[in-house]
Amino acid sequence: METPGAPPAGKTQSKPNPHAAGFQVSRYSYYALGILTLVNFLNYIDRQILPSVAPLMAADLHLTDTEIGAMEAALLLSFTVLAPLFGRLGDRYSRTKLMAAAAIIWSVATGLTGVMDHFPFLPGAIHINVPLVQFTLELSGVAVVLCLVRAIVGVGESSYSTITPSLIADYFPPERRATALGVFQAAIPMGFALGYVIGVILAHFFGWRMAFMIVGLPGLITAWFVWRLREPVRGASEHKQPGTSAAGDAAQSLAQQTKVAQESWLRTSWRILSTRDWLLSTAGYTALTFVLGAFGTWANILLVRDKGLSVTQAGITLGIVTLLAGAAGTFGGGWLADRLIMRRRNAYFLVCAASSALGIIPVFVVLSTNNPWIFIPAIFLAVLFLFINNAPFHAILINSVPPLVRATAVALNIVIIHIMGDVISRFGVGVLSDSIQAGRLSLVARIASLLGIEAQRQHLTAALLVVPISLLVSSLLFLWGAASNKTAAS
């Protein structure tokens, strides 16, 4: 078994050897992967139900774009702030029990979202003057309560998303890890997709309130299966070093576990932050998360408000497109990356860089045309490229740190990609949209007019012009990682 020590700063781990003696993937590992993927699938349905029915909620509760963005930001903020705590707990206590409790928390909170505006003691409205940008944040009492309950959804999702990749890494050896993580991460576009479809269908027949209550039920059931999963030994799937015995491996593993258990959180965090592959991949994925957050929150509203589709048409269209393109991109990205890594040390980074770059043109097409025969295929291509780098990125993340600190590494990654990524885009695009509508940000309006976008009328479309810029930044950062790995290999 490989000694789970920390790689030196700026160095990368050696390329996995598929012929190395070691770990055999059992049927139970695939069963566990299936359960974990199913719950992740339900997780993203619950997360996406709000953007799906947001046009109906906005009309019923008189919510502004800023307030809708604030509800999404509240979920991501709690998700992000608590990630280090759950990462630390996941490296020391039962991961399956923590994840099962998380599923219960977010499922109950999702159901409560549909009734919180009837809370008997609604708080007063909030008015906050933001300096420098001359912006006043205004949230009604209803919006404040909805932000609070969405923050509770984020508590549960934070625990599950932080801990699960480290558990999967212990079920599968390094050369199969990107594929296994690709299967798990494929639940994201599938959950996004069915979140759109299920949300609008349930809202059409039962109203948007019942939609929240119904989608929260399956998570309560599947939590029982997660609770009963067998937990593998941390680092069990790592390859043995040539010439070491099982007894020697066990002794080294025990010594390392003792050392890491006694290490402070700050020291562990610095060890992770000083690992080059982890840092560059996290930076590139932060820019991509900005894009994913903007798409997840605002795509449905964009199609209804600026592209002329009905709420039902927009939800079903996004659901079908995201399901097909997202699943194909995630599965395909993991499959492609695992095959290219045998030939090129920096293949994971190259796949990520290429997918971010290839998404720029279809995003521009979506924003600049109102013809559904053009913008719907463009959405398909954009989603396909956005999700290709999901699996290889998580493989870089997991492989760049030792087994005993993987949950903490994922937690730190979550903090960075969300605070600097989709917390900004989910909330910021709403603020930009309202500001452009109010006649501010004339420079953005002029840029939008060059692409044939009427900024005053299509203010949300104009605000979303930040998306292709972020994709370019993502691609350049992943290319930096690829160049660093190529240099290290030579």
Q: Which two tokens stand for residue 67?
A: 């307030």
* Tokens found for residue 477: 């950062």
The amino acid occupying position 158 is: S
Largest CA distance in the chain: 71
CATH 1.20.1200.10 fits 27-236+266-489, yes or no: no
Name the pLDDT band for 381 (thresholds 50, 70, 90).
very high
The stretches of 207-275 forming alpha helices (DSSP H) are: 208-215, 217-227, 246-262, 265-273
Instruction: Assess whether pLDDT exceeds 80 at residue 136.
Output: no
Q: What is the mean pLDDT of residues 131-152?
A: 76
Nearest to 425 by CA among 465, 393, 457, 388: 465
pLDDT band at 235 (very low <50, low <70, confident <90, very high): low
Q: Are strands 135-139 and 126-130 parallel, antiparallel or unpaired?
A: antiparallel
Per the CB < 8 A criterion, the answer to whether 291 and 471 are in contact is yes
Residue 371 clears pLDDT 60, i.e. is over it: yes
Q: Which residue has the tokens 């992967």?
A: 33
Residue 286 has what pLDDT?
Answer: 94
Residue ranges covered by each domain of the chain: 27-236+266-489
State mean pLDDT over 263-290.
Answer: 86
Per-residue pLDDT for 35 more than 60? yes
Q: 83 pLDDT exceeds 70?
A: yes
User: Tell me, what's the pLDDT at 248?
Assistant: 47
Residue 363: name the closest of 290, 442, 268, 454 by CA. 290
pLDDT tens-place string over residues 315-330: 888 888 888 888 888 7
Q: What's the gap between Cα 347 and its chain centre? A: 22
Half-sphere exposure of 61 (CA within 13 A, CB side): 27
Looking at residue 358, its pLDDT comes to 94
Question: H-type helices in 6-140, by residue range?
Answer: 27-61, 65-81, 83-90, 95-113
Supply 119's token pair. 């809370």
Q: What is the pLDDT of residues 149-166, one digit of tens each?
A: 888 888 877 777 778 877
**Does residue 131 have a pLDDT over 60?**
no
**Among positive and negative, which fits the CA dihedral 353, 354, 359, 364?**
positive
